[in-house]
């Protein structure tokens, strides 16, 4: 996620990279042509810091940093504003949940935190895609299933569609190309209408869509996706 985000931000912002792993720093320096620094003792005073580590590493990372940041932007799933403020001193603290599509400027990013930095946060993350500010911290944890994990869930749908075409006799390359094209065309479609209206417009009596839709309902696909959101939210509450 960190590399995808950096790829999206690199053209519009001057980035610096801080990490524990020297090999990772060398790779980042070569990839982004940006300054690199070791984590131990790094001074964050007056800097805008994007924190992209595993949630369990928050405490240890915080101990290695020096000073007080201007604004901390955290990508850590399920890590509360309170916990972030306890471990990393900053004047303002923001939680964000982007996804890997940031690399292409197409992320869905949910944001919350200190309202004094709302406008800045929205402007920064708007450079990598759509942004959504939520007032309640609970909402960003709920949204994580779609904003953060959503691309992985959609890969399941895409792969299943591809396999279905192959199962019935289509060449794999054609199945991949057709499914990819479907997803590309679906984006503007879903942006223009409610899903139920799109479905109703396509489904004709006793037709192919009705048969396919019936099979999905029989497999409780809708229920499984709803439950997937619930399970993802539960993880953020641990």
The pLDDT tens digits along the chain (238 residues) read 888 899 989 888 999 999 999 999 999 999 999 999 999 999 999 999 999 999 999 999 999 999 999 999 999 999 999 999 999 999 999 999 999 999 999 999 999 999 999 999 999 999 999 999 999 999 999 999 999 999 999 999 999 999 999 999 999 999 999 999 999 999 999 999 999 999 999 999 999 999 999 999 999 999 999 999 999 999 998 8
Distance CA 6, CA 17 (A): 9
Distance CA 120, CA 127 (A): 11
Query: How many C-beta atoms surround the C-beta of residue 217 within 10 A?
Result: 11
List domains and CATH numbers for the chain: 2-141 (3.40.50.720), 150-236 (1.10.3730.10)
Q: How does pLDDT run across 158-198, given as a tens digit for each residue?
A: 999 999 999 999 999 999 999 999 999 999 999 999 999 99
Q: How does pLDDT run across 3-26, given as a tens digit for each residue?
A: 889 998 988 899 999 999 999 999
Burial class (CB in 10 A: 0-12, 13-18, 19+), 73: buried
């Amino acid at each position: 996620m960190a590399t995808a985000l950096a790829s999206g931000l690199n053209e519009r912002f001057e980035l610096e990279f801080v990490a524990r792993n020297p090999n990772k720093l060398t790779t980042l320096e070569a990839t982004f042509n940006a300054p690199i620094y070791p984590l131990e003792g790094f001074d964050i005073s007056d800097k805008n810091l994007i924190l992209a580590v595993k949630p369990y590493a928050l405490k240890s990372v915080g101990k290695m940093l020096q000073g007080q940041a201007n604004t901390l932007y955290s990508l850590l799933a399920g890590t509360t504003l309170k916990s972030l403020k306890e471990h990393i001193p900053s004047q303002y603290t923001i939680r964000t949940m982007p996804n890997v599509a940031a690399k292409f400027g197409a992320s869905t990013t949910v944001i919350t935190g200190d309202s004094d930095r709302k406008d800045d946060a929205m402007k920064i993350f708007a450079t990598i895609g759509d942004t959504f500010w939520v007032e309640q911290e609970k909402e960003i944890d709920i949204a994580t299933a779609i904003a953060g994990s959503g691309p992985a869930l959609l890969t399941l749908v895409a792969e299943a569609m591809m396999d279905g075409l192959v199962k019935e006799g289509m060449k794999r390359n054609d199945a991949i190309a057709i499914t990819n094209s479907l997803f590309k065309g679906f984006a503007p479609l879903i942006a223009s209408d409610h899903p139920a209206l799109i479905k109703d417009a396509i489904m004709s009596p006793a037709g192919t869509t009705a048969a396919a839709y019936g099979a999905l309902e029989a497999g409780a696909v809708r229920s499984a996706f709803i439950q997937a959101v619930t399970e993802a939210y539960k993880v953020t509450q641990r």
